[in-house]
């Protein structure tokens, strides 16, 4: 995607609805140097930016302060949803725009947002399409989604999940045409690091099975079946095979994360939060 398409020549409207951007950060600059500045520059047309930083040590907060005075230091609360709810408490705009620190907004999408919320027939919320970039190229099949990312302030709320959290509003939520460019995991190493971190959070909130020896049925239920379902969804249902090796690796990591969550649940159900050590 051309760099110029990611730098909208737009400015906050003095008379239209006010848009507040919310974002959470934690050491994002060390993971993808320079990306956060590009993301915030591309979103500079909003009326205010509320950034909740979980005590970054790599200069992330300092970069954010170049774009907004509203950078709130909040120690990690144990889940992404909780961090975002802190940001929501500081919003003053008419509309809330949720962006992650690795999502670049094209200028066309910025214009579509401004037009949508200014319409007298504006919905309560809108879904923003995303195309995931992985190892240098977009995943045009298994890397597409459209989460709800824009809503009227005070309408709806987050679902209870702490990972892959979802915001919901009543009524229909139309999709805007131009997708965000999502650079969540530019390399295979980033991908593995990300899924390990996410799996630990998900496993912490999964209900524990009885502390009993796991036979084939338990292994199938908690490890193998979820892993195989995820692989089928991303590689076959979403046609990840059409994304080549990138699609295969993407589907495989989604499979591995479910297997890893099952392993963590097994470990916790038998040994608590720390693994047993044979001495």
Q: What is the pLDDT of residue 133?
A: 95
Which domain covers residue 51, as residue numbers?
3-185
Q: Say if residues 96 and 153 touch (Cβ distance below 8 Å).
A: yes
Pair (40, 155) in one structural domain: yes
Pair (151, 59) in one structural domain: yes
What three-state secondary structure class fits 258? Answer: helix
Q: What is the pLDDT of residue 275?
A: 57
- Nearest by Cα to 70 from 89, 45, 95: 89
The b/e string for 117-134 (b: 16+ C-beta within 10 A; e otherwise) is beeeeebbbbbbbbebbb
Q: How many domains does the chain have?
A: 2
Pair (75, 86) in one structural domain: yes
Q: What is the pLDDT of residue 279?
A: 37
In a domain, 124, yes or no: yes
**In terms of pTM, does the model score above 0.85?**
yes
In a domain, 279, yes or no: no
Q: What is the pLDDT of residue 155?
A: 97
Q: What residues in the chain have per-residue pLDDT under 50? A: 2-4, 8, 277-279
Q: What is the pLDDT of residue 206?
A: 87
Pair (86, 210) in one structural domain: no
Q: Which CATH number covers residue 94?
A: 3.90.550.10
Pair (54, 161) in one structural domain: yes
216, two tokens? 């084939």
Pair (255, 176) in one structural domain: no
- Nearest by Cα to 194 from 102, 130, 56: 102
Distance CA 86, CA 82 (A): 7
Q: What is the CA radius of gyration of the chain?
A: 20
Pair (150, 264) in one structural domain: no
Which of 185, 220, 248 corresponds to the end of one domain?
185
pLDDT in tens, 185-210: 888 998 998 888 888 888 888 888 87
Distance CA 244, CA 186 (A): 16
């Amino acid at each position: 995607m051309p760099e110029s398409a990611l730098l909208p020549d737009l400015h906050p409207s003095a008379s239209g609805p006010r848009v507040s951007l919310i974002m959470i950060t934690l050491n994002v600059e060390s993971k993808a140097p320079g990306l956060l500045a590009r993301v915030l520059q591309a979103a500079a047309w909003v009326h205010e930016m509320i950034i909740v930083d979980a005590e970054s040590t790599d200069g992330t907060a300092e970069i954010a302060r170049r774009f907004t005075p509203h950078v709130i230091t909040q120690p990690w609360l144990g889940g992404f949803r909780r961090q975002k709810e802190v940001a929501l408490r500081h919003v003053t705009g008419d509309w809330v725009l949720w962006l992650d620190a690795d999502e670049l907004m094209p200028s066309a999408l910025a214009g579509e947002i401004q037009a949508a919320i200014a319409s007298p027939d504006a919905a309560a919320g809108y879904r923003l399409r995303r195309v995931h970039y992985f190892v240098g190229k977009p995943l045009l099949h298994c890397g597409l989604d459209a989460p709800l990312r824009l809503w009227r302030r005070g309408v709806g709320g987050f679902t209870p999940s702490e990972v892959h959290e979802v915001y919901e509003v009543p009524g229909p939520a139309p999709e805007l045409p131009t997708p965000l460019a999502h650079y969540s995991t530019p390399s295979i190493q980033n991908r593995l690091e990300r899924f390990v971190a996410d799996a630990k959070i998900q496993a912490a909130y999964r209900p524990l099975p009885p502390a009993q020896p796991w036979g084939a049925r338990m292994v199938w239920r908690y490890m193998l079946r979820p892993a195989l379902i995820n692989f089928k969804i991303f590689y076959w249902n979403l046609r990840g095979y059409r994304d080549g090796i990138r699609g295969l690796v993407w589907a495989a990591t989604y499979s591995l994360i479910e297997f890893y969550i099952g392993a963590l649940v097994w470990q916790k159900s038998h040994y608590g939060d720390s693994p047993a050590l044979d001495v």
